[in-house]
Structure 1
């Protein structure tokens, strides 16, 4: 298995960030697959513990086994998240 993750943030105002995020995983063997997930987004820190995030995301999955090729997909999504940090 090979996996990595990268996140770049640019704070452009108090409590506000732009970010670029990328995740990749490559699994060999039984039910092997290649997964990619990239996002471009905006994060606003409501307070010390709460944050609102809005992002455009591309998710892609490619199964290595030809039998499961019909389960391959590519999806663009618009995500809105409210997260709590403890």
Structure 2
């Protein structure tokens, strides 16, 4: 998925070093889910990696944004069907 999103091996390697394999994989999944909203997956991953390096990143907001997006999509779909 990393390569399909256009995330360079270097950006992925840095994310693994800073975030760890589990959290980096979650971030990639989140980027994949929000693909149409994120213009540069590699750039976004690098920004989040740098925030994590500075102690300014948590997965909580990333996961909450995904949930909000999913809820908003469900509401739009219900409205269209209604």
| More helix as a share of residues | 2
Higher relative contact order (CA 8 A, sep 6+): 2
User: Greater share of strand residues, 1 or 2?
Assistant: 1
Between structure 1 and structure 2, the one with the greater Rg is: 1
Coarse TM-score class (shorter-chain normalised): under 0.3
TM-score calculated relative to the size of structure 2: 0.23
TM-score (norm 1): 0.22
